[in-house]
């Protein structure tokens, strides 16, 4: 069916709502080579998924993701479920020749992620299917601009990366246990949920892999109220902290936590290079801080670039300069880039291999934390 890209989505909660908005919106603002169709959405409860479909604009519903994957009228499977089901769904979808967009983290374990990356490579060779992992923050215009500046050499050799993803929704010890606090569903806590973004951004921005880490993990509140009654253990980390080295010799310091009082969604990253430096904070996502050592020290200083100029990535499709974008635009940009890659027969980024790379770093963090923080190489 030339000219369209028929999408089936699994999961319709927070992430699903964001993805659906992006599938609807991208063709309204970007000239896409394929027109996305919101063909079907899948969820376990028939009533709830029907309500979600109506609200989000899906034409049809399924209650079994296997049925969704088998449908002939679907070209792409968009996986918005918790991490424990990513591998199974993605493998099936790729085997069925579907393109796949999978939410981050790619999987809960390295073994799963390896299987997914291998499957992606096979599906590409066999069917031309494309697979991408949803590190949407790469598509913040200010972040894309930051990557461009590094790639152009404006920072020179990178010396330091400090990255934190800070939230505070667990700071109250009476906040209840949810699936996000159970290892069997979420894999890990702050590490996979927040740390994964920080690791991906750090590798994306520098263009360098993290080669080793030394880490600590912490669960400050070991058990919490169970909404079903009583208390239940928290089996994931509340916070993660680690030092790291990058392929080019830079030193990294990372932190991910749900206990950073007053920080709501502060994914902050600073990159210091021999020729310049960058600062970004997701809570002010339209702004990029840039220090240029080429400037005379008399007038040098961190400048606040409002990344809404027509020259800035994605910005020309939206509003005049100074009219700011929000969180959900990152998903719309992700759809744009993915659809363009699929139409061009090119590999979308980040690939499953890149998602696996992040997973290996997270795994090394967990290993180091279990073994007295000893330096742990990230294997490829």
From CA 231, how far away is CA 55, in angstroms rounded? 35
Site for a second copy in 114-133 (CB under 8 A): none
Site for a second copy in 164-223 (CB under 8 A): 164, 167-169, 171-173, 214-216, 218, 220
Q: Is 124 helix (H, G, I), strand (E, B) or coil?
A: helix
Among residues 70, 223, 292, 340, the one that binds a second copy under rule CB under 8 A: 292
Site for a second copy in 145-164 (CB under 8 A): 145, 149, 155, 159-160, 162, 164
Among residues 59, 67, 274, 343, the one that binds a second copy under rule CB under 8 A: 274
Left (φ > 0), alpha (ψ -120 to 50) or beta: where does 88 sit? alpha
**Segment lying near a second copy (by CB under 8 A), choices 65-73, 108-116, 126-134, 279-287:** 279-287
Among residues 5, 18, 87, 366, the one that binds a second copy under rule CB under 8 A: 18
Question: Is 375 near a second copy (CB under 8 A)?
Answer: yes
Question: Is 224 near a second copy (CB under 8 A)?
Answer: no
Site for a second copy in 92-111 (CB under 8 A): none
Question: Is 243 near a second copy (CB under 8 A)?
Answer: yes
From CA 291, how far away is CA 133, in angstroms rounded? 31
Q: What is the smallest separation between the CB atom of 229 and a second copy, expressed in angstroms? A: 25
- Nearer of residues 207 and 301 to a second copy, judged by Cβ: 301
Question: Is 25 near a second copy (CB under 8 A)?
Answer: yes
CB-based contact 133:350 (threshold 8 Å): yes
From CA 295, how far away is CA 22, in angstroms rounded? 39
Beta-bridge partners for 96: none
Q: Tell me the three-class secondary structure of 170-220, residue by residue.
A: CCCCCCCCCHHHCHHHHCCCHHHHHHHHHHHHHHHHHCCCEEEEEEEEECC
CB-based contact 158:364 (threshold 8 Å): no
Among residues 321, 343, 344, 346, the one that binds a second copy under rule CB under 8 A: 321
Q: What is the smallest separation between the CB atom of 18 and a second copy, expressed in angstroms? A: 7
DSSP structure class, residue 240? E
The number of C-alpha atoms within 13 Å of 105 and in the hemisphere containing its C-beta is 34
Interaxial angle between packed helices 14-29 and 46-56, expressed in degrees from 0 to 180 and rounded to the nearest 10: 30
Q: Output the six-digit token pair for 282.
A: 């997701």
Sequence-distant (6+) residues with CB within 8 A of 197 are 104, 135, 137, 165, 267
Question: Is 266 near a second copy (CB under 8 A)?
Answer: yes
Q: What is the smallest separation between the CB atom of 131 and a second copy, expressed in angstroms? A: 26
β-pairing, 76-79 vs 4-10, is parallel
Using a 10 angstrom Cβ sphere, with 0-12 exposed, 13-18 middle and 19 or more buried, the burial of residue 209 is: middle
Q: Tell me which residue of 28, 43, 36, 34 sits closest to 6, measured CA to CA.
A: 36
Question: Is 273 near a second copy (CB under 8 A)?
Answer: yes
Question: Is 265 near a second copy (CB under 8 A)?
Answer: yes
Question: Is 242 near a second copy (CB under 8 A)?
Answer: yes
Question: Is 257 near a second copy (CB under 8 A)?
Answer: yes
Q: Output the six-digit token pair for 173.
A: 């010890």
Q: What is the smallest separation between the CB atom of 96 and a second copy, expressed in angstroms? A: 29
Among residues 227, 230, 320, 345, the one that binds a second copy under rule CB under 8 A: 320
Q: What is the smallest separation between the CB atom of 289 and a second copy, expressed in angstroms? A: 8
Among residues 39, 61, 81, 308, the one that binds a second copy under rule CB under 8 A: 308
Question: Is 226 near a second copy (CB under 8 A)?
Answer: no
Q: Tell me which residue of 76, 158, 121 sits closest to 342, measured CA to CA.
A: 76
Residue with tokens 């009219």: 323
Among residues 58, 280, 290, 314, the one that binds a second copy under rule CB under 8 A: 290
Q: What is the smallest separation between the CB atom of 351 and a second copy, expressed in angstroms? A: 26
Among residues 3, 14, 72, 174, the one that binds a second copy under rule CB under 8 A: 14
Q: What is the smallest separation between the CB atom of 373 and a second copy, expressed in angstroms? A: 4
């Amino acid at each position: 069916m030339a000219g369209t890209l028929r999408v089936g989505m699994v999961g319709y909660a927070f992430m699903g709502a964001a993805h659906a908005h992006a599938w609807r919106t991208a063709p309204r603002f970007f000239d896409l080579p394929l027109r996305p169709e919101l063909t079907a959405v899948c969820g376990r409860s028939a009533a709830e998924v029907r309500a979600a479909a109506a609200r989000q604009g899906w034409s049809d519903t399924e209650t079994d993701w296997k049925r969704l994957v088998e449908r002939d009228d679907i070209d792409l499977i968009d996986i918005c479920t918790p991490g424990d089901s990513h591998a199974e769904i993605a493998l099936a979808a790729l085997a069925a020749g579907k393109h796949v967009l999978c939410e981050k983290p790619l999987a809960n374990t390295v073994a799963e992620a390896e299987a997914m990356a291998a499957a992606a490579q096979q599906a590409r060779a066999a069917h031309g299917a494309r697979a991408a992992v949803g590190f949407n923050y790469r598509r913040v215009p200010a972040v894309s601009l930051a990557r461009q500046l590094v790639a152009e050499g404006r920072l020179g050799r990178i010396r330091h990366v400090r990255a934190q993803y800070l939230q505070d929704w667990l700071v109250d010890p009476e906040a209840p246990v949810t699936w996000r606090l159970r290892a069997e569903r979420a894999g890990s806590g702050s590490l996979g949920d927040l740390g994964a973004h920080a690791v991906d951004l750090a590798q994306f921005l520098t263009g360098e892999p993290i080669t080793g880490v030394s880490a600590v993990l912490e669960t400050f509140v070991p058990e919490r109220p169970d909404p079903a009654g009583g208390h239940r253990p928290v089996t994931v980390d509340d916070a993660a902290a680690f030092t790291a080295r990058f392929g080019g010799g830079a030193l990294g310091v990372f932190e991910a936590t749900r206990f950073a009082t007053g920080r709501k969604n502060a994914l902050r990253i600073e990159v210091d290079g021999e020729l310049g430096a960058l600062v970004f904070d997701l809570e002010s996502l339209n702004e990029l801080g840039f220090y240029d050592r080429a400037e005379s020290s008399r007038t040098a200083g961190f400048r606040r670039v409002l990344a809404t100029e027509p020259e800035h990535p994605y910005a020309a499709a939206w509003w005049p300069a100074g009219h700011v974008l929000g969180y959900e635009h990152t998903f719309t940009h992700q759809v744009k880039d993915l659809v363009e890659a699929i139409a061009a027969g090119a590999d979308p980024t980040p690939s499953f291999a890149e998602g696996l790379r992040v997973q290996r770093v997270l795994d090394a963090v967990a290993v180091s934390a279990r073994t007295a923080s000893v330096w742990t190489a990230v294997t490829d």
